[in-house]
Amino acid sequence: MRYLPLTDTDRSDMLAKIGAPDIDALFADVPEEARLSGPIEGLPMHASEMAVEKHMRRLSKKNLAAADAAFFLGAGAYKHHIPASVDHIIQRGEFLTAYTPYQPEIAQGTLQMLFEFQTQVARLYGCAVANASMYDGSTACWEAVAMAGRVARGKKHKVVLSGALHPHYAEVVRTMAKFTDDEIAGAPPSLTAKPDDDGLIARIDENTSCVVVQYPDILGRLPDLARIAEAAHDKGALLIAVNTEPVALGAIKSPGELGADIVVGEGQSIGVGLQFGGPYLGLFAVRDEKHVRMMPGRLCGETQDAEGKRGFVLTLSTREQHIRREKATSNICTNSGLCALAFNVHMTLLGEEGLRRLAMENHRLACMAADRLAKVPGVKVLNHAFFNEFTILLDGDARSIVRELTKQDILAGVSLGRLFPDIDCLSNGLLVAVTETTTEEDIETLASALEEMLA
Amino acid sequence: MARYFTDEHEWIDVEGDTATVGITDYAQGQLGDIVFVELPDVGSVIDKGKDAAVVESVKAASDVYAPISGEIMETNDALEDDPALVNTSPEEDGWFFKMTIGDKSQLEGLMDQAAYKSFCDGL
Amino acid sequence: MNAPNASGWKPGTPVEGHNAMSGPDTATGNRALMLEEPLLFEIGHIETTGVDLPEPKDGPNRLGGFERNEPIGLPGLSEPETVRHYTRLSRQNYAIDLGLFPLGSCTMKHNPRLNEKIARMPGFGDVHPLQPVDTVRGALEVINELAFWLLDLTGMHGVAMSPKAGAHGELCGILCIRAALEARGDAREVILVPESAHGTNPATAAFAGYKVEDIPATPEGRVDLEALKARLGPDVAGVMITNPNTCGLFEPDMKAISDAVHEAGGFVYCDGANFNAIVGKVRPGDLGVDAMHINLHKTFSTPHGGGGPGSGPVVLSEALSPYGPLPFTARTADGVVHLVEEENADEFEHTKAFGRMTAFHGQMGMFTRALAYMLSHGADGLKQVAEDAVLNANYVLRSLEDVLDAPFGPSGPCMHEALFSDKGFGEGLSTLDLAKAMIDEGYHPMTMYFPLVVHGAMLVEPTETESKAALDQFIMALRSVAERAKAGDETLKTAPHYAPRRRLDETQAARKPVLAWNDPAMA
């Protein structure tokens, strides 16, 4: 077996040193009846690198890769071009095969990277401090809700969710809240050109610990965060802003700037591929430094070594599970380190200028697509404003149209029926995302196919 | 003014109806460099033996329990900027909070300076 | 391997008047290949970009008046500068690719590169989680095939694939237990956890709303079965047990523990962090376990990546399977693999799910890697993994027990990790000092001060991917450092001496946290 270096001679020499007659003697604590005598039945035996690659390639070929289609899916995961050097750097063994940097003297590479990452995220979000990342956007969203409960010291138990929050994010919050006695006040999304900020504000009361608003929202619209923040703060509630497309923040104001207290989101767009949904990168930041000790997740901080040289360490770890046990701020141990590195490297390659250009190119192509699709008979563009994703309403069931279009290698978008299967009145809605990877030809392909289908 | 000690290594100064609470020199020595102190809300009412504060070193967080029942009157804001005060002056400038004395009889079971010293010597 | 020494050089034979490590100061602060690297924010510029993108054209936009008009403060670098910046940083890290990584309970084994190649195949790396299912059947098959392997290896009934890492999986398992108890109208309040448990166990149980109580241990480092039985009752929802346990020992009474817990109406959660010791040798399902998470990044070699991403599928007993979260995959008789979500759960008779733990389907990028690892090893190879992991750990234990105190050494063999204590160290010297001295010897330290039940604990997990020669050199190094610790060698207190940084001031970092870079010129 190519991954196991011991030879049979090594094994018998080592057993002799140990003083054990055979390998089974080392498993003596396992009761005889629980010990398996041979390899587990029903599973194949070891296989060569070639054989494994062949098997996996066959499975891979059964999928339609985004690059092989006219591709318009978004809804929390976006296809962007990732520079080749990003993947090269994250495959360096010193990053790829390192552990969590608990021994800072021999982990300054990971630690300095995390410090840079935290700074990039904090600035992008308009916040004071960001953590070293979380599992993904949906779990970061729940952690933000839990943190708001801690800030309210358990005195406020209502969580107001915008109806235009990603339904899977809302479902994660609902699942977790079953165990914390929080009341989750949700609402169905309304198919209007502008988000229903008034309706949301009306649901905030004195018992509200936080208001959760996605920006841009699940339909691609832009809620007025500043107004919602003011209304939340008037009632002593925190505003949690959720962003699932960080590229947007190269073009639009940051949530922190608009008054959000906690900003969380999905960082996958920068440096991390689609990967069928994971691993992704949860981003988490707080606008005001006073909330730092209530934050979940790892934090990297600057300090000095014994010779006075600058260095970095994981810090404020008394918040975490391995020290606080049942009093920890969260039970999670890991962050999404390698994805944070990919984000860090890609953002460094972009820089502010590159991010701005990337954002404007996304927006330009999205506007072009919206204009072209609006000309298709039977298609109506819903949004008043958007960044790179917008909702169209079709004369027909969007979900079946999307399925039909896959036959022409068109991945037309995410139907609202897929996202909200229980809400019949949304079934003709289709969420269309456009990025710098979308070509004018792709847009034309989609528009013509819809023309044909809706005719 | 009378000073009492608990077997949780807290000291309590009693002046009239007010008690000032902190941790002892022995306790700070055991904890090592203090990096943060989480203090209770002023106005909160805490029962004897319940969590009142948290004191953190780099690798540990320890709860500080209310030595008696009462309402928190004031907390030591200086600890926010300079938690090291707990190391340098644990029994004076590094005090944690002042509280009302709900039930004077709760003071009766506590140790005086001499009793506390022999308690620590026995550890 | 960096053995002393193929080049012919031997330690302790300095050339007269010359010490390799102490030379004149350099003007740059660099030391040959050891390069100091500034922060991105000190070398980058907001006008610089390493990506070619078109200049934005002025014109109307549809941003609804939300346009950014303030700079963000994100410096960029050109591509050559970027590659150099991160390559230099990478060289300040220790990694499995550089040497043995004996971090107990973390299972730092070799990460096969085939797995990296496979995860990047376009059909896995470049598919969107919400594509119509007919365009991603192969991806669903990967998830289903991996699930099948996990069920066979554990002898369990069902598996939840979506949890993002071990602790997330742990939470998933405990929530299944809670959902099962609630479904039978049984409000139990207590979860029992051994003192030696990883801190995540009590943190998870507390999050799920349970009161946590300790289970006492025997002097042999095992769960005290009689004490456990005495505590069981109608208020106990379940126990969380790590097996092999955090002392690196198998719990021989595991089946009796499970039987007693079931008898009392509770459930058994097993922390699968140490599954590497028994994979292919013992099936937790045969021991009465109801739920167990599996760290794909430990046992199944997906890379740790400097702290994640992990992946933590949870295998479930028949009693808990109906409560597993959405989504998951199911293969029907026709061989087609389906994605089961909220809308079609009833078609698959899965109506009691406790909810959803994450937005999409789990860590697909880790599933492809783990499946490639399993296929490579096969049932025979995985059994060999457990045997070699246990053999390597026992070899380390028996090679060092004369110089380091091994509290459970006399009671018999260990599983996949060897536990030592600081007993016998010279005055003022601690486990930390020994660990830092191992850095100077070219090793990542072992796990320190865990489990808490052993004073100054050192937990060594060599894993099966180390050769005998690599183990011999590690043993030689650890022996030498242990002897220095026992002799009271004061130089240990200032170790490491040769790492990119000396000991870092963690007190300063925590008292005055600096968590983002602030331009000194702006201060």
What is the end-to-end Cα distance of chain B in Å, rounded? 28
* pLDDT exceeds 50 at position C1: no
Among residues A453, A442, A347, the alpha carbon closest in space to that of A402 is found at A453
Query: What per-residue confidence (pLDDT) applies to C20?
Result: 53
Q: Look at C510 and B84 and tell me if their CB atoms are within 8 Å.
A: no
**Assigned domain for B41 exists:** yes
Domains of chain C: 115-371 (3.40.640.10), 381-509 (3.90.1150.10)
Q: Count up the domains in chain B and report the number.
A: 1
pLDDT of residue A210: 97
| Res C291 pLDDT > 70 | yes
Give, in degrees to the nearest 5, the angle at Cα C197 between A107 and A336. Answer: 35
d(CA C351, CA A444): 43
What is the enclosing helix (H) or strand (E) of C159?
Answer: strand C158-160
Under a CB-based contact definition with an 8 Å cutoff, are residues A390 and A430 in contact? Answer: no
Contact between C510 and B35 using a beta-carbon 8 Å cutoff: yes
- Compute the nearest-CA separation of C158 from chain A (Å): 17
Query: What residue of A is the nearest CA neighbor of B51?
Result: A327
Helix (H) or strand (E) holding A357: helix A337-374
| Strand A208-214, strand A238-243: pairing | parallel
Peptide bond into A189 cis (omega under 30): no
Distance of CA C262 to the CA centre of its chain: 30
Question: In angstroms, rounded to a whole number, what is the distance separating the alpha carbons of residues C355 and C334?
Answer: 28
Q: What angle do CA B93, B96, B100 make, to 5 degrees?
A: 115
A34 vs C129: CB contact, 8 Å cut-off? no
Chain centroid offset of residue C303 CA: 9
Evaluate whether residue B108 is within a structural domain.
no
C110 → closest Cβ in A3, A59, A175: A3
Note the pLDDT of residue A321.
63
Per the CB < 8 A criterion, the answer to whether A434 and A443 are in contact is yes
pLDDT of residue A326: 65
Residue B109 resides in a domain: no
DSSP string, C370-432: HHHHHHHHHHHHHHHHHHHHHHHHHHHHHHHTTTSB-TTGGG---SS-EEEB-TTPPTT--HH
Which has the closest alpha carbon to A117: A242, A253, A272? A272
b/e code B74-86 from CB counts within 10 Å (16+ = b): ebbeebeeebbbb
The residue of A221, A253, A268, A275 whose CB has the most chain C CBs within 10 angstroms, and thus the best one to mutate to test that interface, is A275
Higher pLDDT, C48 or C10: C48
Question: Region C511-522: what's the mean pLDDT?
Answer: 87
Task: With CB atoms and an 8 Å threshold, state whether A318 touches B41.
Answer: no
> With contact defined as beta carbons under 8 Å apart, do A293 and A102 qualify?
no
pLDDT for the residue numbered C12: 57
Position C16 scores a pLDDT of 57
B42 touches chain A (CB under 8 A): no
Residue A369: enclosing H or E segment and its boundaries?
A: helix A337-374
- Residue B119 counted as domain residue: no
| pLDDT < 50 positions in chain A | none
What is the mean pLDDT of the segment spanning C57-67? Answer: 89
At residue C419, φ and ψ (nearest 5 deg) are -110, 130
Find chains touching chain C: ≥3 CB pairs under 8 Å.
Answer: A, B
Give the closest residue to B105 by CA, choosing from B66, B73, B69: B69
> Which of C128, C274, C279, C284 minimizes the C-alpha distance to C197?
C274
pLDDT in tens, C382-395: 999 999 999 999 99
Q: Are C492 and C485 in contact (CB under 8 A)?
A: yes
Instruction: Report yes or no on B111 lying in a domain.
Output: no
Compute the 3-state secondary structure of chain A and give helix, strand, coil in percent, each to the nearest 5: 45, 15, 40
Question: Across the A/C interface, how many CB contacts are shorter than 8 Å?
Answer: 704
Residue C4 has pLDDT above 80, yes or no: no
CB–CB of A83/C417 below 8 Å?
Answer: no
Contact (CB, 8 A) for A385 and A403: no
Q: In chain B, what residues touch A318 (CB-CB under 8 Å)?
A: 35-36, 56-61
Residue among C130, C207, C214 at smallest CA distance from C172: C207
Position C7 scores a pLDDT of 56
Q: Does B69 reside within a domain? A: yes
Chain A residue closest in CA terms to C517: A119
- pTM of the predicted protein model: 0.95
Q: Chains B and C: how many Cβ contacts under 8 Å?
A: 13
Q: Are residues A250 and C110, on separate chains, in Cβ contact within 8 Å? A: no
* B35: chain C residues, CB-CB within 8 Å: 507, 510-511
Q: What is the DSSP letter of A193?
A: S
CB neighbour list of residue B67: distance below 8 Å, 6 or more residues apart:
B4, B6, B8, B10, B12, B19, B21, B48, B106, B110
Could you tell me if C430 and C456 are in contact, meaning their C-beta atoms sit under 8 angstroms apart? yes
Instruction: Tell whether B84 lies on the interface with C, counting CB pairs under 8 A.
Output: yes
Helix (H) or strand (E) holding A446: helix A440-454
Question: Does C197 or A184 have the greater pLDDT score?
Answer: A184
Interface probe with B: pick from C450, C504, C511, most Cβ of B within 10 Å: C511
Among candidate residues B107, B123, B83, B121, the one with its CA nearest the CA of residue B6: B107
Alpha-carbon gap, residue B53 to A126, rounded angstroms: 32
pLDDT at C502: 96
Burial of C243 (0-12, 13-18, 19+ CB in 10 A): buried
Phi and psi, residue A229, nearest 5°: -60, -45
With CB atoms and an 8 Å threshold, state whether A298 touches C307. Answer: yes
| Confidence check on the interface: ipTM exceeds 0.90, yes or no | yes
Ranking A105-114, A344-353, C259-268, C511-520 by mean pLDDT, the lowest is: C511-520
Nearest Cα to C338, choosing from C136, C99, C56? C136
Q: Identify which of C110, C138, C364 has the shortest CB distance to residue A275.
A: C364
Is the CB of residue A6 less than 8 Å from the CB of residue C391? yes
Chain A positions contacting chain B at CB under 8 Å are 153, 293, 317-318, 323-324, 327
| 3-state helix, strand and coil shares in percent for chain C, rounded to the nearest 5 | 35, 10, 50
Check whether C240 has a pLDDT greater than 70: yes
Angle at C36 between CA A298 and CA A272, to 5 degrees: 45
Please indicate, yes or no, if residue B36 is contained in any of the structural domains.
yes
Of C244, C52, B123, the closest CA to residue A354 belongs to: C52
DSSP H or E stretch at residue A284: strand A282-286
Q: Which domain range does residue B42 map to?
A: 2-103
What is the CATH classification number for the domain harbouring B13? 2.40.50.100
Share of chain C above pLDDT 90, in %: 83
Could you report the per-residue pLDDT of C397-408, keeping only the tens digit for each? 999 999 999 999
Q: Tell whether omega for the bond before A21 is within 30 degrees of 0, i.e. cis.
A: no
DSSP for chain B, please give it.
-EEEE-TTSEEEEEETTEEEEEE-HHHHHHH-SEEEEE-PPTT-EE-TTSEEEEEEESS-EEEEE-SS-EEEEEE-THHHH-TTHHHHSTTTTT--EEEE-S-GGGGTTSB-HHHHHHHHHT-
Under an 8 A CB cutoff, do B84 and C506 touch?
Answer: no
DSSP string, C325-384: PBPEEEE-TTS-EEEE-GGGTGGGT------BSSSSSS-HHHHHHHHHHHHHHHHHHHHH
Domains annotated for chain A, with CATH where assigned, are: 6-40 (no CATH), 66-81+352-454 (3.90.1150.10), 84-346 (3.40.640.10)
Beta carbons of B42 and B51 less than 8 angstroms apart: no
Averaged pLDDT score across all residues of chain C:
93
CA distance C413 to chain A (A): 6
Of all residues in chain B, the one with the smallest CA distance to C507 is: B58
Task: Using a CB–CB cutoff of 8 Å, tell me whether B62 touches chain A.
Answer: no
Select from A153, A293, A323 the Cβ nearest to the Cβ of B60. A323
- Look at residue C324 and tell me whether its pLDDT is greater than 90: yes
